[in-house]
Amino acid sequence: MRFALLLSVASLGVATAAAAGPNLVTNGNFENGYTISTEFNSVFNTAKGPTGWTSNGNRTFNLYVDPNTVKTVETVTEYSELGQRLTGSFTGASPAGGKFVILDGDSNVAGKLSQMLTGLTAGKKYNVGFYWGASQLANRTGTTTEQLEVGFGGAAAQFTSVITNPSQGFSGWLSQKFGFTATATTATLSFLSHGTPNGLPPVALLDGVSVNAVPEPAAWVLMVVGFGLVGVAARRRSAAVAA
């Protein structure tokens, strides 16, 4: 009975700590949205991107695509030229799976992908996690560089490393996490692609976006104690069974 009580208390401690930070992002995996791969911004196909996200600027060239067709099917865009699909070196869906977003890095057409977050606590820390990669459209050639800028309300923006990509290359999916401190109860989460050279264009891929509150120190202590009690109870039970 005593061991069972210890185990229950420990499990409660672990569950309390784990429940401290649910994902605050709507449709962070981009699964919900338009069914056909398309460009979306404030002028062209305004509401045909991923649900819950906006693509700022009327010249923004951000694409909402399906990994199963992104190398073979032309994306619906405002431009008539062919090759509005990813290079053949693209290897498939991110670890989050399913649809994702392509953000053009050309400064002439780059624009933020954003979502308004609510229910934040000013002064509290939050982790922003996501998968991203560097690639190129099929109708462009040449070595490129790519980088993502991540914004979180009034906090200072943070940047991924710069990736240099060979002509028609794909970097593979990379996992990234940044920590931000909320400055208000709401914040605009945003992603902006920075690429070189202009005109090719280099593109960044984005998927699996999450924002989670960082557990308070007391919650971490409770979690550590909880795991410790689970270990003690397990060892004592094993010893009792052996005896």
Range of the domain at 241: 1-20+216-243
pTM exceeding 0.95: no
d(CA 80, CA 51): 26
Q: Are residues 146 and 207 in the same domain?
A: yes
Number of domains in the chain: 2
Q: Are residues 7 and 116 in the same domain?
A: no
d(CA 221, CA 215): 10
Two tokens, residue 89: 């070196």
Q: Are residues 11 and 57 in the same domain?
A: no
What is the band of 84 on the pLDDT scale with cuts at 50, 70, 90? very high
Q: Are residues 35 and 109 in the same domain?
A: yes
pLDDT tens digits, residue range 51-60?
A: 999 998 888 9
pLDDT of residue 228: 53
**CB neighbours of 99 closer than 8 A, spacing ≥ 6?**
29, 30, 31, 33, 50, 64, 65, 66, 67, 207
pLDDT of residue 234: 53
d(CA 146, CA 195): 4
Q: Are residues 158 and 41 in the same domain?
A: yes
Q: Are residues 30 and 45 in the same domain?
A: yes
Q: Are residues 13 and 102 in the same domain?
A: no
Q: Are residues 156 and 232 in the same domain?
A: no
The CB-side HSE value for 237 (13 A sphere, CA atoms) comes to 13
* CATH code of 133's domain: 2.60.120.260
Q: Give me the residue label for tokens 């009690």.
A: 229
The CB-side HSE value for 94 (13 A sphere, CA atoms) comes to 28
Q: Are residues 190 and 196 in contact, defined by beta-carbon separation less than 8 angstroms?
A: no
Two tokens, residue 13: 């401690």
pLDDT tens digits, residue range 125-183?
A: 999 999 999 999 999 999 999 999 999 999 999 999 999 999 999 999 999 999 999 99
Q: Are residues 79 and 160 in the same domain?
A: yes
